[in-house]
């Protein structure tokens, strides 16, 4: 095999590591791939760790011990997160996107890969320390962001449904009070999707009264799962009191004006700390 | 600024380019970022192009002209795609995952980030030449794979719903015949999500009779959009004749045995060519 140079090894390693966040790659894996000595690979990794840090591309972590190696973790600095969300808020504010009834159209934002990836990275950075085993969302609009968060954390996504489906197998159904209308709604989750004792991170697109979020918490309780955090793309300014607490939203929506025709979207306070 | 070495520049560039597939980055962008001359950056890119190719990590393409630069495209070799899908088929075959009625449980596969990313890369590789403007899916289970395909192609995802929602704005509703049951169902798509003259790639999790797929094609026709391709994670062996043609599925499902208790999942024929 032709000798592979350091710049070639490092570039390939960067791509392989960042494609599978949180997955531990052994030194031997890279030694075999590149036909290089362990000492050489260690040096490569040391340099790569600094590159990742210097350019704000995340974090490389060395894991010691028998099953040790190196893993990539996404990491968005508070400053970068704030800049990204502030720009997003500006593009969503105004009259253009307000629909009858004071609703905001932002489905396009929720399925734009670049935006969604950055939102996922931001939420993952915030909750990586909580070590969730999976990300939970309720269909439909929040799925891309929840999936992106799960990708960045390197854990599976679990999707709660509005009704049980034949192809999901035995399921747990619960009823919950929809925050916005006070209606009783149903939420269904396949029994196979989650195990007792796991840790869940709830991610969804929208938080108004918090009924659906509360329903997801209740569902996790039924499964014996601990909810380690909750993140939402958008929360409404009103009602101020939600049915859940401790959540982190990225943006706060207030629809103002006599005829509810103007959206004021601002970054959530915790981002500005 | 301290001088940045080639291995550092190349590693950072790899991450930045592959994070935004299909997006053209100008040479000047990287010159500014690294404080390097254009000739140096050109050399970096030439080496990086070979690395990406050598390790099967995709493709770097140089775009000439006024708005020129360099862009990353994912690229999965037929051999790698075949190996990946063959392994997946093996893990899905057998009696473990078969549900009453001959349904197969594979929701966990459809939301496992690593698996979904690879499926998305594979579908994107297959349809990149068709230059879709967006990926279309029908809620719910196919969303992660469709989103992953959209990410790999660097285009938005558009999600058709079962009913129109207040927060989606004006919508086009169509009726279609559900392939499996022959029921009349409704599909709704926000008017804002798509523009006339665009090109759509349809991606979904499951193809049985093809009713939903046909519905999506009809919907695109209503919008004056051309369907440039259709990809499904799983297609059933029966009925052999679907309501759509020209689709590419990754796997073929046949549920066999006296009591319909064994799943036989095989890679789709086109993958084996």
CB contact under 8 A, A111 and B147: yes
User: Residue A108 in contact with residue B193, Cβ under 8 Å?
Assistant: yes
Average pLDDT over residues A19-39: 94
Residues 12-51 of A with CB under 8 A from B: 12-16, 18-20, 23, 33, 47-48, 50-51
Closest partner residue to A7 (CB to CB) among B10, B167, B193 is: B10
Q: For residue A38, count other CB atoms closer than 10 A to its CB.
A: 11
User: Closest by alpha carbon to B12, among A34, A58, A117?
Assistant: A58
Question: Is residue B1 scored above 60 in pLDDT?
Answer: no
pLDDT for A99: 93
Q: For residue A192, count other CB atoms closer than 10 A to its CB.
A: 15
Q: Which of chain B's residues have a Cβ under 8 Å away from the Cβ of A158? A: 111
User: Closest by alpha carbon to A256, among A106, A107, A95?
Assistant: A95
pLDDT confidence tier of residue B211, bands split at 50, 70 and 90: very high
CB contact under 8 A, B150 and A113: yes
pLDDT for A179: 67
Question: Is residue B83 scored above 60 in pLDDT?
Answer: yes
Instruction: Give the DSSP letter of residue A94.
Output: B
pLDDT for A106: 96
pLDDT above 90 as % of chain B: 89
Question: Is residue A96 scored above 80 in pLDDT?
Answer: yes
From residue A171, alpha-carbon distances to A190, A238, B88, B143 in Å are: 4, 34, 24, 21
B234 touches chain A (CB under 8 A): no
Pick the residue from chain B with its C-alpha nearest to A17.
Answer: B15
CB contact under 8 A, A108 and B193: yes
Average pLDDT over residues A59-71: 90
Separation in Å, CA of B22 to nearest CA in chain A: 11
pLDDT for A257: 87
CB contact under 8 A, A107 and B168: yes
Indicate the CATH number for domain B78-272. Answer: 3.40.50.2020
Give the pair of three-digit tokens for residue A7: 């710049």
Separation in Å, CA of B147 to nearest CA in chain A: 7
CA angle B83, B55, B53 (to 5 degrees): 110
Average pLDDT over residues B211-234: 97
β-pair type (A171-177, A248-256): unpaired
Q: Name the least confident of A62-66, A134-138, B7-11, B260-264.
A: A62-66
Closest partner residue to A55 (CB to CB) among B6, B12, B107 is: B12
- What digits encode the pLDDT tens for the residues A98-133? 999 889 999 999 999 999 999 999 999 999 999 999
Separation in Å, CA of B87 to nearest CA in chain A: 18
3-class SS of residue A247: coil
β-pair type (B262-267, B248-256): antiparallel
pLDDT above 70 as % of chain B: 99
Separation in Å, CA of A79 to nearest CA in chain B: 18
Instruction: Give the DSSP letter of residue B230.
Output: E
Sign of the CA dihedral with B57 first, then B38, B20, and B216 last:
negative
Average pLDDT over residues A189-201: 97
Domains of chain B, by residue range, sit at 6-73, 78-272
pLDDT for B258: 86
CB contact under 8 A, B111 and A192: no
Q: Could you tell me how many residues make up chain A? A: 273
B195 touches chain A (CB under 8 A): no
Average pLDDT over residues A82-108: 95
Average pLDDT over residues B193-206: 97
A168 touches chain B (CB under 8 A): yes
Separation in Å, CA of B65 to nearest CA in chain A: 25
Count CB pairs under 8 A between chains A and B: 175
Residues 68-97 of A with CB under 8 A from B: none
Name the helix (H) or strand (E) containing A263.
Answer: strand A262-267
CB contact under 8 A, A15 and B15: yes
Q: Residue B160 CA to chain centroid, in angstroms?
A: 16
Question: Is residue B180 scored above 80 in pLDDT?
Answer: no
3-class SS of residue A153: helix
pLDDT for A215: 97
Question: Is residue A272 scored above 80 in pLDDT?
Answer: yes
Separation in Å, CA of B61 to nearest CA in chain A: 16
Separation in Å, CA of A4 to nearest CA in chain B: 9
pLDDT for A187: 96
CB contact under 8 A, A140 and B159: yes
pLDDT confidence tier of residue A1, bands split at 50, 70 and 90: low
pLDDT for A67: 80
In angstroms, the CA B75 to CA B77 distance is 6
In angstroms, the CA A129 to CA A44 distance is 26
Pick the residue from chain A with its C-alpha nearest to B56.
Answer: A12
- What digits encode the pLDDT tens for the residues B31-81? 999 999 999 999 999 999 999 999 999 999 999 888 889 999 999 999 999
CB contact under 8 A, B117 and A10: no
Closest partner residue to B139 (CB to CB) among A14, A140, A157 is: A140
CB contact under 8 A, A151 and B117: yes
CB contact under 8 A, B15 and A10: no
- What digits encode the pLDDT tens for the residues B100-143? 988 999 999 999 999 999 999 999 999 999 999 999 999 999 99
pLDDT confidence tier of residue A65, bands split at 50, 70 and 90: confident
Task: Indicate the fold that domain B6-73 takes in CATH.
Answer: Arc Repressor Mutant, subunit A (1.10.10)
CB contact under 8 A, A111 and B7: no
Separation in Å, CA of A11 to nearest CA in chain B: 4
> Which residue has 């990406």 as its token pair?
B52
Pick the residue from chain B with its C-alpha nearest to A107.
Answer: B168
């Amino acid at each position: 095999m032709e000798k592979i140079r350091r710049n070639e090894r490092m570039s390939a390693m960067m791509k392989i590591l960042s494609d599978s966040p949180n997955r531990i790659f052994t030194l031997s894996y890279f030694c075999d791939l590149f036909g290089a000595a362990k000492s050489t690979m260690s040096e490569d990794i040391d340099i790569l760790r600094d590159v990742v840090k210097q350019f704000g591309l995340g974090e490389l972590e060395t894991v010691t011990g028998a099953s040790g190696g190196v893993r990539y973790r996404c990491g968005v600095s508070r400053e970068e997160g704030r800049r990204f969300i502030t720009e997003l808020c500006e593009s969503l504010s105004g009259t253009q996107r307000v629909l009858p009834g004071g609703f905001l159209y932002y489905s396009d934002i929720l399925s734009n890969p670049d935006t969604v990836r950055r939102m996922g990275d931001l939420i993952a950075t915030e909750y990586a320390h909580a070590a969730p085993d999976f990300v939970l969302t309720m269909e439909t609009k929040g799925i891309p962001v929840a999936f992106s968060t799960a990708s960045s954390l390197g854990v599976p996504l679990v999707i709660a449904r509005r009704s049980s489906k034949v192809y999901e197998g035995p399921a747990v159904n619960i009823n919950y009070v929809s925050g916005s209308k006070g209606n009783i709604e149903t939420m269904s989750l396949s029994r196979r999707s989650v195990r007792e004792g796991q840790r869940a991170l709830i991610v969804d697109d929208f938080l108004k009264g918090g009924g659906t979020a509360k329903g997801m918490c209740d569902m996790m309780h039924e499964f014996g799962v601990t909810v380690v955090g909750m993140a939402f793309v958008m929360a409404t300014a009103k009602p101020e009191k939600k049915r859940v607490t401790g959540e982190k939203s990225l943006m706060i929506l207030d629809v103002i004006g006599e005829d509810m025709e103007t959206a004021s979207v601002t970054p959530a306070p915790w981002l500005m700390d």
